[in-house]
A = this chain, B = another copy of it.
């Protein structure tokens, strides 16, 4: 294995060159399709690896059926895992009371669908000090073992809703020649955001109710996102007061590499060379979010969505390309200067 020069300025100038070239060639264009693609059409789109908004796809039954009362009726008393944070930022860089930055995982609370939806509906005021977001991302509808084992009865918290959710997207599975790695259900409101990050998965994202607002940056813009390594922490409930407290993990838990940009929609959060693409996905619409694309996601009302993660093609150049664009080496630890906190907090209040 070769080693890379220690000259960070040179590497940044290279990444900036790539980013400029990519933007010169592709601009901020994204395709909009008026129907689902064929497997071949989608295979071509995966090769181009740009976001695509698809309108009028075959809608899952969820789309027409999932009223609150239907969901409550179907789910009954079954326990579901809900992320709870004081600020709506599960899996994000957070500053604790002492000003120390952490990558914070949410407290996970088990509750009924009925209680969860009641919490969302009642919780739109700013006075709420706990934000609930169903975002478990562990294949909560279907996980890879479901496909590996052809085990129709592979358990899921949302088994009662499976009849409304196809286990795969046929045109995507056929294009990629594989089943999904995970299918996830997301339910949240305007108080929750998904902090900017990228996944090594091809992502098919369908909105069932409400609307998701995506801010997207291509893999070539990774150098603009100031990835740093942050110590790991998890929200817990205080044994006495039951209040949420952020508990740093033991020093054996490795730090988490994460972007220091809290909200890329806040002016000044990104250098001028970054050209974010803003796409709103409304109910009944589907977004193809290619592997390695950076995404920050929010919603302005109660929003239900399904996403299908497919393993990206590991043969060929894509892995090398994405690794190179992330800077070739682990980033330094995060610090106050990197983390754009104050500015974002102000904005965050606006849509809370």
Contacts and interface: CB of A to CB of B under 8 A. Distances in A.
Contact of A17 (B7, B46, B328): B328
A13 B20 contact: no
Contacts of A7: 5, 7, 10
A306 interface: no
Interface string A45-72: 0111110000000000000000000000
Number of copies: 2
Contacts of A220: 317, 320
Question: Interface residue tally of chain A, by bracket?
Answer: 35 or more
A97 interface: no
A241 interface: no
B40 A17 contact: no
Interface stretch (A21-29, A102-110, A137-145, A146-154): A21-29
A313 interface: yes
A314 B273 CA distance: 21
Interface of A: 1-5, 7, 9-11, 13-14, 16-18, 20-22, 24-26, 39-40, 43-44, 46-50, 174-177, 219-220, 273, 313-317, 319-321, 323-324, 328
15 contacts: A1-B20, A3-B13, A4-B13, A5-B9, A5-B10, A7-B10, A10-B10, A21-B323, A26-B315, A26-B316, A40-B40, A43-B43, A47-B316, A48-B313, A321-B321
